[in-house]
């Protein structure tokens, strides 16, 4: 098999012993619908493992490099750095989108720039490096291609704090109370739920957010609340 991933391997400084493992990183489940005889599965199992490996790498990195931070800060930074948008950006920077195998329909609808697909692919690559090489090699990869520039920027500008945390800090400091988040609406099938969440304080609505998870909807509501914070 010709090594079509040679330029990628040079860029990420990893030479795979098992080329089929690397190939597996890029197989989206939609591709298998049109290629049922393919000898490989989708990248979903790798993505699942990569998510856990990334979590451990992030924890170890923060523990080693930022001993002065509090546990709560670690949690906030970790959430900010491993979120979908950050992983998708890193995937695009490396050019993982060029290797993605998608169904014709998925590709036509912009699958190669889909943030979720890109983020999943990045996590699958972390798992593949971990399995093919070692934890240390996966750690080095994540440090170089996710942490190096992004983490410094987040810390220097305090961007790791979520809107929800920042809103709570402001209200708590001034009123010694916390804002209230309420699910206003929940719709859609079980596998594709949409949540509408409102945030209020002293019975005054500050903002609303709509997203595919309660957590994300709360964050969007908190972001909106910042526009109304002066009215408190």
Residues belonging to the active site:
51, 123
Rounded Cα distance between 28 and 36, Å, is 13
DSSP letter for 18, please: -
The structure tokens listed for 157 are: 């500008």
Binding-site residues from annotation: 47, 120, 123
Binding-site residue numbers for Mg(2+) are 47, 120, 123
CB-count burial class (<10 Å; 0-12, 13-18, 19+) for 79: middle
What CA–CA distances, in Å, run from 51 to 17, 62, 114, 152?
Answer: 22, 17, 18, 22
Edge-to-edge strand ranges of the sheet holding 204-211: 180-187, 194-201, 204-211
Identify which of 191, 203, 202, 201 has the alpha carbon closest to the alpha carbon of residue 226.
201
């Amino acid at each position: 098999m010709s090594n079509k991933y040679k330029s990628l391997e040079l860029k990420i400084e990893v030479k795979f012993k098992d080329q089929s493992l690397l190939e597996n990183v890029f197989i989206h489940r939609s591709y298998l619908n049109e290629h049922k005889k393919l000898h490989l599965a989708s990248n979903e199992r790798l993505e699942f493992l990569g998510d856990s490996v990334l979590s451990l790498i992030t924890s170890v990195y923060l523990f080693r490099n930022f001993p002065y931070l509090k546990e709560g800060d670690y949690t906030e930074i970790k959430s900010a750095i491993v979120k979908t948008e950050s992983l998708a950006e890193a995937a695009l920077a490396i050019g993982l989108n060029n290797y993605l195998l998608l169904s014709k329909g998925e590709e036509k609808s912009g699958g190669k720039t889909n943030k979720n697909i890109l983020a999943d692919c990045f996590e699958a690559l972390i798992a593949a490096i971990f399995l093919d090489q070692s934890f240390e090699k996966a750690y080095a990869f994540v440090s170089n291609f996710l942490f190096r520039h992004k983490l410094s920027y987040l810390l220097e500008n305090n961007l790791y704090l979520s809107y929800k945390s920042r809103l709570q800090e402001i209200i708590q400091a001034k009123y010694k109370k916390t804002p209230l988040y309420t699910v206003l609406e929940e719709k859609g099938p079980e596998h594709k739920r949409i949540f509408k969440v409102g945030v209020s304080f002293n019975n005054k609505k500050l903002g609303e957010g709509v997203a595919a998870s309660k957590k994300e909807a709360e964050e969007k509501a908190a972001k909106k609340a910042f526009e109304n914070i002066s009215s408190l």
